[in-house]
Amino acid sequence: MTYENLDSKLVNALLDDGRASLRSLAEDLGVSVTTVSNHLSDLEKQGAITGYTPKIDYGLLGYDVTAILQLKVEGDALPDVTERLKNHEQMLSVYEVTGTYDIIAIGKFEDTDEMNEGIKSLLVDPDIRESNTSVVLNAPIENRQFELDVEE
């Protein structure tokens, strides 16, 4: 088994069960626990694996509104606005993009009142020139992760 294949298989196994023990991963992959541990450490050091977190259904926890914010930013303020959005706890994703808008941010809110309050707090930012907000009606796929291709 090559190094790349083992890493891909290890990632795929973790996608299947992020709480799997080193021993069970080693058994599933047909390698030693030490090998799994070393490869896992390498993937973490490289930043390919950045953490182990549960998959949360925010809707079941009372966050029923998902908003997609498109923002146009003033001049060279893009890094500053992006940083402020990253620090907003209910923003799940923040992207710097090409096209009409400079930033797309995705946030979760308990209701439209909370969403409205959050958006209004952003709009007083003098670095934000324009915004467009869409409310998600249905999310057939959300937070999907995909398995890596493994060459056999």
Q: Is the pLDDT of residue 3 over 70?
A: no
Number of domains in the chain: 2
User: Residues 48-89: pLDDT tens digits?
Assistant: 999 888 888 999 999 999 999 999 998 899 999 999 999 998
Question: Which structural domain range is residue 20 located in?
Answer: 3-46
Strands of the chain (E only): list them: 65-73, 91-96, 103-109, 128-135
CATH number of the structural domain spanning residue 111: 3.30.70.920
pTM (predicted TM-score): 0.80
Three-state secondary-structure class, residue 88: coil
Tell me the C-alpha distance between 113 and 120, whole Å: 11
Angle subtended at Cα 106 by Cα 76 and Cα 140, rounded to the nearest 5 degrees: 145
Q: Is the pLDDT of residue 2 over 60?
A: no
Q: Which residues, in sequence order, are bridge partners of residue 71?
A: 103, 131
- CB half-sphere exposure, 73, CA atoms < 13 A: 23
> 113 lies in a domain?
yes
Are 34 and 95 part of one and the same domain?
Answer: no
- CB half-sphere exposure, 84, CA atoms < 13 A: 17
User: Residues 89-111: pLDDT tens digits?
Assistant: 899 999 999 999 999 999 999 99
Q: Is the pLDDT of residue 4 over 70?
A: no
Between the CA of residue 74 and those of 70, 83, 102, 142, 145, what are the distances in Å? Answer: 14, 14, 9, 31, 34
Are 40 and 10 part of one and the same domain?
Answer: yes
> 32 lies in a domain?
yes
Are 26 and 74 part of one and the same domain?
Answer: no
Are 34 and 65 part of one and the same domain?
Answer: no
Tell me the C-alpha distance between 128 and 142, whole Å: 27
Are 62 and 103 part of one and the same domain?
Answer: yes
| Out of 63-67, 72-76, 134-138, 148-152, least confident range | 148-152
Which residues 6+ apart lie within 8 Å of 98 measured at CB? none
Are 40 and 63 part of one and the same domain?
Answer: no
